[in-house]
Amino acid sequence: MNILIVGPSWVGDMVMAQTLFVCLKQRHPACRIDVLAPEWSRPILQRMPEVNEALSFPLGHGVLDLATRRRIASGLRGRYDQAIVLPNSLKSAMVPFMAGIPLRTGWRGEMRYGLLNDIRRLDKARYPLMIERFMALAYEPNQPLPQPYPRPSLRIDAASRERALARFELALDRPVLALCPGAEFGESKRWPAAHFAAVAERHVREGWQVWLFGSKNDHAVGEEIRELLIPGLREESINLAGETTLAEAIDLLSCADAAVSNDSGLMHVLAALGRPLVAVYGSTSPAFTPPLSEQVEVVRLGLDCSPCFERTCRFGHNNCMRELRPGLVEEALDRLVPRPVEIKSP
């Protein structure tokens, strides 16, 4: 059985989609799974053993461009028995329909009757987690999901990781604390730079090195965190945000001995790499898209106004993040990676 997946457009969602791929392989062990998704997602998909091929989808979010969709559909015609469409938009269901794929599965979404012929009605109470909504599409309607749930797990190529280490002149002679201070969704999901810096300082003083990760948009906050470290400590940190490719970021994150991240795509990457992770939540909730790993501590205050799922704090104070003190994160890190009994002075 050949299955085409129309993939999501966010890093975290793509990582979580691996749970669907695992379920498909459990149900159809010999099936072929190809994923049609934005080109940026290729490094993630290449690290998923269930995926045979990543197919590049060149159109950005909201772009219709019927001619390009027809061209892509023409190249897919006759190759697949089923398409599973993960995004809920009408446009995302067009290519499988144009390609004439016999079985086209997905949630009802934006009035996709006809485009999908195996259309499901989502019961949010039954499937509160995003991974449950992905996994359910591998089975017949109302069929129970397998227990325990599979977890995303990205494989790392040692040679690729060594090349990334060499490019940035990084050494693994000291334990690595990875910090991911960005969040594309908005300011409300970002823990303050000063709090990240406080955690970084403690670890540097204890002999760790600090690597900061993120997109180009996160480079400035990475520099802010470094500038908050005093000379002598600052030199033990490196700002990789915006400097690495996504493939390099994944390979380097696999080197982390511990990590602190906002609710972001890299948070899900870290969980899928099995790294000890403290996930900081404010305006969003782990009840829908939690990091899926045994080595995770979720830290949040749970104020009356959160989760609000707003990009910026409607009250202007951002207390759900600002009042979440570094000590709470440090305690969570200590539970994941116990501190030395005695810290020797230099």
Q: What pLDDT does 220 receive?
A: 94
| pLDDT in the model for residue 15 | 97
- Mutual orientation of helices 193-205 and 326-336 as an angle, nearest 10°? 40
> Rounded to the nearest 5 degrees, what angle is found at the Cα of 166, between the Cα atoms of 337 and 207?
30
Element (H, E) at 296: strand 296-299
Measuring CA to CA, how many Å separate 110 from each of 91, 107, 113, 156, 200?
9, 9, 9, 37, 45
In tens, the pLDDT along 228-251 reads 999 999 999 999 999 999 999 999
DSSP label at 210? E
H or E element, residue 250 = helix 246-253
Rg (CA), the chain: 21
Residue 299 β-bridge partners: 280
Asked if 76 and 99 count as a contact pair (C-beta separation under 8 A), the reply is: yes
The torsion of the CA quartet 139, 142, 148, 149, rounded to 10 degrees, works out to 60
DSSP per residue over 309-330, as a string?
Answer: --SS-TTS--HHHHTS-HHHHH
Sign of CA dihedral 214, 217, 219, 223: negative
Q: One-letter amino acid identity for 288?
A: F
Q: How many Å apart are CA 87 and CA 61, to the nearest integer?
A: 11
Q: How far apart, in whole angstroms, are the C-alpha atoms of residue 263 and residue 277?
A: 11
Domains, in order of start, for the chain = 2-138 (3.40.50.2000), 159-336 (3.40.50.2000)
Q: What are the C-alpha distances in Å from 238 to residues 179, 188, 268? A: 10, 25, 22
| pLDDT block averages, 10 residues each, the chain of length 346 | 95 97 97 96 97 93 88 96 96 96 93 91 94 97 93 95 97 96 72 94 96 95 96 95 96 97 94 96 84 93 71 72 90 88 39
What's the angle, vertex CA 253, arms to CA 272 and CA 215, rounded to 5?
A: 100
Q: pLDDT tens digits for 212-228?
A: 999 999 999 999 999 99
Residue closest to 98 by CA, chosen among 123, 73, 81, 118: 73
| pLDDT value at residue 341 | 37
Q: How far is the first Cα of the chain from the last one, in angstroms, to the nearest whole number?
A: 62
